[in-house]
Amino acid sequence: MKIYVCVKQIPDPNTVVSKLDPNTKRLVRSGVSLVLDPGDESTISAAIKLRDTVGNSEVTAVSMGPASAQEAMRRALAMGVDRAILVTDPALAGSDALGTARVLAAILQKESPDLVFCSTESTDGYTGMVPGSIAEFLNLPQLTFAREINVEGAKAIIKRVTLTGYQTVECPLPVVVTIASGSFEAIYPTMKGIMGAKKKPFTQLTLADLAIDPSQVGETGARERVATIGKAEARAAGQIIKDDGNSAQAIADFLQRYQLI
């Protein structure tokens, strides 16, 4: 089986406080520590686990991003992904979910996947709109919010997270699957994996390679515009105290003052 995982390099959510650039009105991605989206690590692990269960299968990571995203792809390879494909092009800056999905779908179209995995949403943009958009571009169905995946013959069966529990949902292959955060434990790359990653196939493409019209992607192709970035209505400044061993008292006083206990 040919399994593909769409991944993204993002500002490290554990160390970087996301900022918007007032000029470009985009998320600041330069000068900050960049990592493979931790949600994608879980999704890659789900794909690798399925590959090893099914047998005779390969996992390919695909991404769109600046040259720096090579690092994220190397990490994916070190985790155990077999191949990586990265699309880098200056015209892609400022792409919306539609533009991003258009590019990823163009890669996948050439590859004839059996399964496409995505995280439910990225940890920096959170729109969650790319996976469903890829599915629509490829005219494939989508199985979303999966916390468990099985492939039986030509069908994928997932347990799909709902607000009150889960649904069991099945769908014929090929299909786009999104993985609910936290459903699969991330594989940690070993030294052997890191060394081996350097020898694995890593393809880098431009928009011209995919025959995509640059006006359909990037800021030009985006159907939405950020008009202004303003300050949120601030909550009245709160009281900040340093724990001196009596914080429990101070918090309980607060709770009583506002009749919360």
Partner 1 sequence: MSKTIWVLVEIENGKAARSSLEVLGKAAQLGRAEAIVLGSAAAEVAPTLGEFGAEKVYVHADAIYDNYLTLPAVDTISDLLKQHQPALLMLATTYDLRDIAARLNVRNTMGLITDATDLAFAGDTLQVTVPWGGENVVTATHPQQGSGIVLTRPKAFGVENFAGRNAEIETLSPALNAESQKIKILDRVDVPSEGPALEDASVIVSGGRGLGKADNFHLVEELATSLGGAAGATRAIVDAGWLPYSYQIGQTGKTVKPTLYVACGISGAIQHLAGMKGSKYIIAINKDEHAPIFSVADLGVIGDAITILPQLTQEVKRRKTH
- Using the minimum distance from each CB to partner 1, give the nearer residue, 56 or 164: 164
Orientation angle between helical segments 38-54 and 69-79, nearest 10 degrees: 40
- For residue 123, the 8-state DSSP code is T
Segment near partner 1 (CB under 8 A); pick from 59-67, 84-92, 201-209, 250-258: 250-258
7 vs 151: CA distance, rounded Å = 22
Residue pointed to by tokens 């025959």: 211
Closest by CA position to 85, among listed 112, 57, 113, 104: 104
77 vs 157: CA distance, rounded Å = 27
Q: By CB under 8 A, is residue 202 in contact with partner 1?
A: no
Instruction: Please state the closest distance from residue 55 (CB atom) to partner 1, in A.
Output: 25
Q: By CB under 8 A, is residue 235 in contact with partner 1?
A: yes
Q: By CB under 8 A, is residue 223 in contact with partner 1?
A: yes
- Using the minimum distance from each CB to partner 1, give the nearer residue, 73 or 101: 101
Handedness of CA 155, 79, 18, 97 (dihedral sign): negative
Q: Which 5-34 positions form the footprint of partner 1 (CB under 8 A)? A: 13-14, 17-18, 20, 25
CA 159 to chain centre: 20
- Using the minimum distance from each CB to partner 1, give the nearer residue, 190 or 247: 247
Beta bridge partners of 156: 151, 171
Q: By CB under 8 A, is residue 154 in contact with partner 1?
A: no
Total binding residues toward partner 1, as defined by CB under 8 A: 84
Instruction: Please state the closest distance from residue 84 (CB atom) to partner 1, in A.
Output: 22
Segment near partner 1 (CB under 8 A); pick from 35-43, 48-56, 85-93, 207-215: 35-43
